[in-house]
Structure 1
Amino acid sequence: MTEQTPPADLRSGRAPRPDQPPAPHAPVPAPAPAPAAGADEGEAPAGKAMNEEDRAPWGLTIRVSFYLVGVHIFAAFLFLLFHLGAK
């Protein structure tokens, strides 16, 4: 059995630079666990407390809601124009 020598960074004890690709023998991280069955969208996965950073900022939520409602009203207005214009 042949033994492979570690890369230069591992032999010297230095951490690899972040701009370099990982070593070809680096372990692949495990995929994230799937959410628990029956968990709602707003609930934290089982075993994990809900963190404020896990949610979108309140201002962004309101702004996106207004944009969605506004775009649908605008689309309904265009639909009405084409519907009335076709008669």
Structure 2
Amino acid sequence: MMPWLVTVGRRRADGRRLRLHVPVVPVLLVLSPLLALAVAGGVVACLVFRVSPLGALRAAGGLLWALPGTSFEIEQGRTALLLSVR
């Protein structure tokens, strides 16, 4: 299942919290020209390093499909960052 929503939460040093919900599909649509360039660059890199482009694409798809339900929490001092993928 493709991730639909990424939630980024940040707790500032003064204790206030900031939470940002980012929908994945509209961001992908806006950034699609850059995504096309990244895919082309990835294919060229695969050919240079003699890696199967289809295998690399399959691995990237598997990583993307495994993201929903993942959450990262980083805390340093009084500042904390939470990244949740749904």
Same fold (TM over 0.5): no
TM-score (norm: length of structure 2): 0.28
TM-score (norm: length of structure 1): 0.27
